[in-house]
Amino acid sequence: MEFDTKIKIVLKKNLESWQELNVTAFLMSGIAGTQDIIGQPYIDKDNVQYLPMSQQPIMIHTATREQMKEFLRKALTKDIAISVYTEELFKTYNDEDNRAIVAQFGTEELNLVGIGIRGKKNQVDRLLKGFELHR
């Protein structure tokens, strides 16, 4: 299947493994919940049904904090869906507190550790040109 959009996650370099997984899951929940990318449920041979997942592949990149700030600045000028995860969210435990902590910072002040985007292929590719794939 060919898609006209791409989904990419950018993680700050040198996060702990559990942080990378946590940030990726939260960023994708924002994209999946708002972007109509979810397919049909999965059903195994025994007719057990499982939740559907994204129909699109998701690429994960890494970046420095400075690269992430510049990336966000540029992404905000495009017609791209964006989710963010800041360092402070590692210390909160519910959605209300998460939103309140992000609201305490201006865009340029965000302590970004993750950014998720979905947009037109060519725009996403240009924005992430030169960014390393996560290893």
pLDDT at 134: 95
Tens-level pLDDT at each residue, the chain (135 residues): 789 999 999 999 999 999 999 999 999 999 999 999 999 999 999 999 999 999 999 999 999 999 999 999 999 999 999 999 999 999 999 999 999 999 999 999 999 999 999 999 999 999 999 999 998
> pTM of the prediction?
0.94
Sorted by where each starts, the structural domains of the chain and their CATH numbers stand as 5-133 (3.40.1490.10)
* 46 dihedral zone (left: phi>0; alpha: psi -120 to 50; beta): alpha
pLDDT at 10: 98
- Beta pairing partners, 21: none
Give residue-wise pLDDT tens across range 97-133. 999 999 999 999 999 999 999 999 999 999 999 999 9
Cα dihedral sign, 4-116-28-8: positive
